[in-house]
Structure 1
Amino acid sequence: MSPGVVAPTPSENRHTPALTSPPRGTFSSLRIRNYRLFFTGQVVSNTGTWMQRIAQDWLVLSLTGSAAAVGITTALQFLPMLLFGLYGGVLVDRLPKRPLLLFTQSAMGTTGLVLGVLTLTGHVQVWHVYATAFALGLVTVVDNPARQAFVAEMVGPDQLANAVSLNSANFQSARLVGPAVAGLLIGAVGSGYAFLFNGLSFLAPIAALLLMRHAELHRVERAPRGKGQLRAGLRYVAGRPELLWPIVLVGFIGTFGFNFAIWLTAFTDTVFHSGASTYGLLNSLLAAGSLAGALIAARRATTRLRLLITAAFLFGFLEIVAAMTPSFWLFALMLVPIGVFGLTVNVTANSSIQMATDPAMRGRVMALYMMVFTGGTPLGAPLIGWITDTYGARIGFATGGVFSALAAVVIGLILASLGGFRVRDYPTALGLRKGMRSRVAGCSSRSTDCSRLIEGGAPGSPVRPL
C-alpha cells in the first residue's frame, strides 16, 4: 500500500486493484455518485466561468479602450499561480480537500457577485476589475490543485484517467456554451448580469460538495505541518523522471503553444481581414476539437508517456502547418485537430502525473503542474505577442509550434533513453511499488517473465512506460 493511504473500503477489498482492469467506457467514472455530483456542479460553474471571462475582457475594453489593459487583467489573474502556486500545493496536502473546496468555491463566487453588483450599479472602475481578477487568481492558487487532487479521492486510481478526461470535456463543453450565452447577455442587458450568473453558478458545486457521501471517498492521510515541505515536494519531483519531464514538456507547451487569444485575433484581423464573428467561429472550432480530444481520451484505460510525446509533437507540427495555410477554411479546419492534440497533451500529462504520485504529495505535485502550465502565460504571451506584432501572425503562430515540437522531440529522446533502464533501475525511475521492485530484482533481464514485467509496467497500473 502506498504511504499515506488508509486501508481500502470493503468494496475495494473484493479485488486487488493491481490485478483488475478498470471498467471501460467514455463515461465510466460517472457511475460513482460522488464524482457524478461533482461533475454536474462543474458543468454549471464552468459555464459561468467562461461567461465571466468574456464579460470581463469586454468590460475592460469598454472602460479603457485599450487591448493592453485586457492583457494586464489576464496577467493579474494568472500571476498568483506563478508566484504562489507551490505554497498552494503545500496547503492542499495539509488540509482536508472537501472543506477547502467549499471555501475556495464560495470565495470565487463572491468575486463574481461583487463585480456584478459594481457593474449593475454603475460604480465599476477598471481597478475594480484588476482587483477582482487578482483576488480570483489568489483563490485559484489553492482551488486548482485541490480540485485536481480531490478527483483521485472521489474515483480512486482505476477511474482517475477517465475522470480527468471527463473534467476536460466538461470544461471544453462550457467553453462552447459560455461565450455564446455571455455574448447574448452582454448585447441584451450588459456585462453585469454575466458576472452575477457566474457568482450564482458556484452554488452548484457547493451543493454537490455538501451532498457527497464522505464514507465513499478514498481517504488519504494528510501531510503533517512541518518545515521543508515545499522543498520536499520539489525534491520529490526532481527525483522522478516520470513526473519531472512531463511537467517540463507541459511547461513549454503552456508557455509557447497555447497563446491562441493572440494568434486567432491576429489572423482574424490582419490575415483574413474579418471581424468578431470570424473570431468566434475560430474559437468554437478549436473548442470543438478540444472537446473531441477529451472524449477520446476518456475511452483510454491506460496512459502512456509515448502518447504524451506523440501528441505534443503533432500539436506543434500542426500549428506550424496551420500557420502557413493560405486558405481561410483550411486554416479553420486545422484548428480542430490542433484542439484534439492539445487537449490530449493536457489530459495525458495530468492523469499520468497524478497516477504516478504518492497521494501524500499529490497536492504539491499538481500545484507545480498547474503553476508551470498556467503560470507560464504571463511569461510566454508577451514574447509571442511581440513576435506576432513584429513579424506577423503566421510567424508568431509558427514560432509557438516550433517551441512545442522541439520540446516534444528533446524530452521524448530523454524519456526514451530513460526507458532503456537496466532492470534494477526501472522500478525506481517509474515510481512503481516496492513489491514490484522485489519482483524485478528477482528475475533475469533475459527471462520471458522479466521482459513482460519490464515492457508492461506495474500489473493493472493505468500508467504505462514508453
Structure 2
Amino acid sequence: MSSSPVAAFAPLRHSAFRALWIANLASNTGLWIQNTGAGWMMTSLAPSPVMVSLVQAAAMLPVFLFALPGGALADVLDRRATLIAAQVWIAAAGLLLAVLAALGLLGAWGLLVLTFAIGMGTAVIFPASAAATPELVLHDDLVQAVALNGVGFNLARALGPALGGFVMAAAGLTAAFALNAVGFLALLWALITWRRPAQRRSHLPPARLPSAVRAGLRFAIAVPAMRAAILRACAFFFFASAVWALMPLVIREGLGLDPAAFGLMLGVAGFGAVAAGTVLPMIRDRLSQGRLVFFAALLAYAAMALLGLSRHWAPAAVAVLIFGAAWLAAGSALGAAAQMTAPAWVRARALGVYHLAFFGALAVGSLLWGWVGTKMGVPTALALCAGSGAVAAVAVRPWRLVNFAQDMAQRVKARWDRAAATMPTPEAPASALKELLHNNSGRV
C-alpha cells in the first residue's frame, strides 16, 4: 500500500468496516452534541471550574471502572451481542436525558448521573469495538483502520460540537440531547444488520468472568509492549485532559463567546484531527511509533500553553487546531500499538486494560486540572499543565512502543535464516533421477 493521503482511507474498501464506520460516525456525532450540551448546560447550572470539569469526568470515569470487565465480557460472550446490548443501554440513557431536559427536571447532579450512565455503556463499547476491528479488515489494513477509527471519532468531534452549538442556539438543549439518542439508534441498527464471520468453536470449557479479567490483567502486565503503551497513554492523556475539561470556561469567560462559538471551536479541534489522520501514513514512514507519540505530545502541550495565553478567538482557534491534530496523532499511535500487541484470544480484555488506563487518566486529569483552575485560574492551570506534561513526555520516552507481532515475526524469520544457512548441501542426484529432481522441485 502506498503511503499517501489516499492510503489513509484504504480500509473503507471493506464493506463491513465501511458500514460500521459510517454508523459510528453518526453515533459519535450525537455523542459530541450531547457532550457539548452537557458542558454548556453545567456552566449555567453550576458554573465553577470543578463542576464543569466533572461533566467530562462523569463521561470518562465509567470507562475507568468498567472497561476491563466490559472487555472480558466481549471475549467471553459474542462480541456482536455484547455491542448490541451496550448500545441499547446507551440509547435508553440518552432518551431519558432528553425527556428530563424537556420537562425541566434536569439538575446539575442529574446531568452528571445520566452522563455517567452513558459512560457505562461506552465502557463496554470501546474495547469490544476495538477488538472487532481485525475481523472487519485485512491484516495489512489494520494499523490504518485504527487510525481511521480515530479520524471518524474526530470528524464527529468536528461536526458534533458545531452542530450542537447551533442546535442549542436555535432549539435549546432538549433538541441537542434528542439528536444524541437518534445517533445511538443509527449505530444500533448497523450492529443488528452486521453479519459477523463464523467463529471457530473452542473445545475448552467457557471462561468465567473473574478468571477472564485476571487473565487480561496478567497479559497486560507481562507483555513489555503493552506495559509501555499503557504507561505512555497515562502520561499523555492525564495532561491532555486539561484542554477538554477547561475549554468551556476558556470560551465563555476567557473569550466571552456564545454556545455556537464553543461548538465551532471544538469543531476546529476535530478538523485538525481529521487533517492529521490523512497524512499519518506518510508520517509513520518517517517516524517510529514512539517518536511520533513523543513529538505529538510536545506539540499538544505547546498548543495548550497558547490556548491559556489567548485573549482573542484567532490564536485560540490556532491552538485548538494544533491540539486536535496532535491529539489524533498520539492517540492513534498508542491505540495501534496496544491493539496489534494483543492476540485474538485476549484482545478485548487487553484493550480493556488499555482503555481503563486511558480514560482513568482523562477522568483524574479532568478533576485535578479543574481543581487547579479553581484555585489558580484557568490560564495558569493550562500553562502549568503544559509545562509538567512536557517533562512527563521526556520522562516516559525510554519505554519503547514495540509492535509485538512484528517483533515476533522478525525473530522467527531470523531463526529460519540461521537454520537455512546451516543446511547441508545435498549430493548430486543419480543420473536416472536428474529428470525428476531439478531446481523447481523444491527442498524436502
TM-score bracket, normalised by the shorter chain, equals 0.7 to 0.9
* Residue 44 of structure 1 pairs with residue 26 of structure 2: yes
Whichever residue aligns with residue 301 of structure 2, its letter is G
- 2:222 counterpart residue number: 239
Structure 2 matches for 1:86-125, cutoff 5 A?
86-125=68-107
What is the Cα deviation at residue 142 of structure 1? 1.1
- 1:455 counterpart residue number: none
Secondary structure of 1:415 counterpart: coil
* Residue 228 of structure 1 pairs with residue 202 of structure 2: no
What is the Cα deviation at residue 121 of structure 1? 3.8
- 1:187 counterpart residue number: 169
C-alpha distance in structure 2 between counterparts of 1:440 and 1:182, whole Å: 55
What is the Cα deviation at residue 116 of structure 1? 1.8
Structure 2 matches for 1:272-287, cutoff 5 A?
272=255, 276=259, 279-287=262-270
- 2:137 counterpart residue number: 155
C-alpha distance in structure 1 between counterparts of 2:201 and 2:333, whole Å: 23
Which of these residues, 297, 300, 303, is aligned with residue 312 of structure 1?
297
- 1:141 counterpart residue number: 123
Which of these residues, 147, 152, 175, is aligned with residue 170 of structure 1?
152
| Residue pair 2:33, 2:160 contacting (<8 A) in 1 also | yes
Compare 332-341 and 123-132 and name the one that shifted more: 123-132
Whichever residue aligns with residue 183 of structure 1, its letter is G
C-alpha distance in structure 2 between counterparts of 1:97 and 1:177, whole Å: 29
Q: Percent same amino acid among aligned pairs? A: 27
TM-score by length of 2: 0.81
Compare 394-403 and 29-38 and name the one that shifted more: 394-403
Measured at CA, do residues 240 and 431 of structure 1 come closer, stay the same or move farther in structure 2, by a change above 3 Å? farther
C-alpha distance in structure 1 between counterparts of 2:172 and 2:241, whole Å: 29
- 2:238 counterpart residue number: 255
Measured at CA, do residues 431 and 371 of structure 1 come closer, stay the same or move farther in structure 2, by a change above 3 Å? same
Compare 289-298 and 68-77 and name the one that shifted more: 68-77
What is the Cα deviation at residue 123 of structure 1? 4.3
Compare 150-159 and 340-349 and name the one that shifted more: 150-159
- 2:380 counterpart residue number: 395
What is the Cα deviation at residue 32 of structure 1? 0.2
* Residue 370 of structure 1 pairs with residue 370 of structure 2: no
| Residue pair 1:45, 1:201 contacting (<8 A) in 2 also | yes
| Residue pair 1:270, 1:393 contacting (<8 A) in 2 also | no
What is the Cα deviation at residue 69 of structure 1? 4.2
Whichever residue aligns with residue 363 of structure 1, its letter is A
| Residue pair 1:251, 1:376 contacting (<8 A) in 2 also | yes
| Residue pair 1:153, 1:218 contacting (<8 A) in 2 also | no
C-alpha distance in structure 2 between counterparts of 1:75 and 1:163, whole Å: 28
Equivalent pairs, count: 414
Unaligned runs of 5+ in 2: 422-444
C-alpha distance in structure 1 between counterparts of 2:68 and 2:85, whole Å: 19
RMSD between aligned residues: 3.3
Measured at CA, do residues 124 and 272 of structure 1 come closer, stay the same or move farther in structure 2, by a change above 3 Å? closer
| Residue pair 2:72, 2:349 contacting (<8 A) in 1 also | yes
- 1:7 counterpart residue number: none
Unaligned runs of 5+ in 1: 1-19, 420-428, 448-466
Report the structure number with the largest CA radius of gyration: 2
- 1:381 counterpart residue number: 366
| Residue pair 1:81, 1:375 contacting (<8 A) in 2 also | yes
